[in-house]
Amino acid sequence: MQSGMTLIEVLVALLVFSVGILGVAMLQLDALKYTDSSMRSMHASFIANDLFERIRANPGASYALSSLSQAPTSGNLAVPRQQDLYDFSTQLKRAAGDDAEASIAVAGSTVTLTLSWDDSRASQEATQQQTLTLTADVSAGRSAQP
């Protein structure tokens, strides 16, 4: 009868353990990627809802914007629309990256906000665009709908 373990058994056990640890590390990396993607989506949603509330508070101004590049490059507290769009642009780029894009379509009291940003970190593709479209009735007492 043999007592103890041979060197080969120890090496096989070490190999099995190493493969298991590698699998756990890969799962952790995937979890971090997807958490980052989810956080960007959540921030984009909060920023969009903040803009809807600002539009609701300033009903006389037109917030239509075909591209984020048309947003004001500086804020002006004396002109609420300009300040709101500047804040929106700045917050979106800070949360989703400088490549973030947005458009605002206004039809009466209905506002449709479309946001898109590069989400390639959470996917295996080189360029993966994530898009969030929200529509809201900005008349008093209404909220955003996905």
In a domain, residue 9? The reply is no
In a domain, residue 136? The reply is yes
Does residue 121 contact residue 31 with C-beta atoms inside 8 Å?
no
Q: How far apart are CA 56 and CA 142, in angstroms?
A: 9
Question: Domain residues for 99?
Answer: 40-145
Please write the tens of the pLDDT for every residue from 25-84.
999 988 888 888 888 889 999 999 999 999 999 888 889 999 989 999 998 899 999 999
Residues contacting residue 92 through CB under 8 Å, at least 6 positions apart: 44, 47, 68, 100, 102, 115, 117
In a domain, residue 48? The reply is yes
In a domain, residue 125? The reply is yes
Question: What pLDDT is attached to residue 35?
Answer: 82
In a domain, residue 8? The reply is no
pTM: 0.73
Q: How far apart are CA 10 and CA 20, in angstroms?
A: 15
In a domain, residue 33? The reply is no
In a domain, residue 18? The reply is no
Please write the tens of the pLDDT for every residue from 4-15.
678 888 899 999
pLDDT, averaged across the chain: 86
Per the structure, how many domains does the chain have? 1
